[in-house]
Structure 1
Amino acid sequence: MKETIMAVALKGLSDNARKTSISELNGRLADSIALALAVKQAHWNVKGRNFIAVHELFDTVHTNLREQIDVMAERVQQLDGVAIGTAEKVSGATTLPEYPTGLTRAEDHIRALCDRFRDHGERLRIAIDATDEAGDADTADIFTAASRSLDKDLWFMESHLEE
């Protein structure tokens, strides 16, 4: 039987590890896309003191999320899966609560985003363990990097809430 290029590239990775990783990646991809859209919603509608600092922070946070989204989606492809990222599919797959569209105050946006960042971070850490236990350390590393970036952005946002 002739091996495909993909099969050669994935030697040493079990079918279970590949399937587990694709599933975890698509789950966290949906949450990351939903979170990135929530951050943009906040960026577009934020008002109040420290406006420019918060507005620019949200842009930076969005950029960081976009980078993680691309890495996750590309890893799905490397594993011979299909990255699921359409608005319709993300809306149905995300585990994050819907972002409120009526917020304007910077503090309200920051609190709403921080809640979602904590939820997403928890799920990323679960995905780290699941993919590592399945035998895909490379995908676990991707989730670790995403978790580290998310934690840093959460810290930056929470710092704006300190009195």
Structure 2
Amino acid sequence: MKVAIIVQKNKEFVNSLFETGILKSVEKLLISSEACADKEIIEPIATFIYNLGENPENIEKIIETNLIYSVIDFVEWSSVKEDFVKALMQLLTNCNSKQAMKIIKMSALSTLFNYLKNFEDSNIIEDILETFLNVLQKSKNVKNVFDEMEEYGIFDKIKTLKNHENQDIREAAAKIAKEFF
């Protein structure tokens, strides 16, 4: 866990980690059935990826290592889904437009949408809506992103969330609707 926190603070340390090939080791851990069953291993990995996702340079390395697929898999089935949802949102929020399209093509939006449909945590719902808004705003080809979101039913869900009991969720949904519908 300490490495995950240090990553957030020290760029030189992060670069030295990349030079060691740590992302390949993380990838191997994430596909190891023994490691996957151990919450004490998986939780810090999600935090590590979250902290690495603070800038496009690091995100590019994560994309190149194909870790996005593992993050998405863990959102869908792991016991620490929320940690990986936060990591995925961090990557989508801090990536550039080109990286956003790559991550979207890996099924990131549908994964977040499925999580959104199945959980009631107001903070997570609001964060996912903010992530959708960020992706739409940064996209150079909004139509492609819009079409993908529409295909998964994301906009229908956003329309229903405009009537949510939580005011922050209503406002976040209304902001997307106002700007992109």
TM-score bucket (shorter structure)? under 0.3
Compare CA radii of gyration and give the structure with the larger one: 1
Q: Which has the higher helix share?
A: 2
- State the TM-score, normalized to the length of structure 1: 0.27
- State the TM-score, normalized to the length of structure 2: 0.25
